[in-house]
Amino acid sequence: MFNFFKKYDVTFKVDGVKCEGCMHKIYKTLIDLDNVKKVETNFKKKTVYIDLVSKENYDTKELVDAINNAGFIVKE
């Protein structure tokens, strides 16, 4: 039996965020990645929630690298 409602997600705390524009930059960076279905950012908490399309293509390193390459630091 298939579970069509199964979610694959990850949440990161991010350093270096100074404004909503920073969060928008992170959003734009992540939403263009192949396995990313949805991105939600929270400026107050400095968190990024990422909803992935599938678990098979789940690569945390790719997500962390994308955020870091955008000029921010993922707290692990």
pLDDT per residue as tens digits for the range 30-65: 999 988 999 999 999 999 999 998 877 677 899 999
Give the CA dihedral 45, 55, 25, 14, nearest 10 degrees.
30
pTM of the entire predicted model: 0.85
Q: d(Cα 37, Cα 34) in Å, to the nearest integer?
A: 8
Q: Which CATH number fits domain 8-75: 3.40.50.410, 1.10.10.1590, 3.30.70.100, 1.10.287.110?
A: 3.30.70.100
Give residue 76's Cα distance to chain centre. 13
Q: Are 60 and 9 in contact (CB under 8 A)?
A: no
Whether 29 and 67 have beta carbons less than 8 Å apart is answered as yes
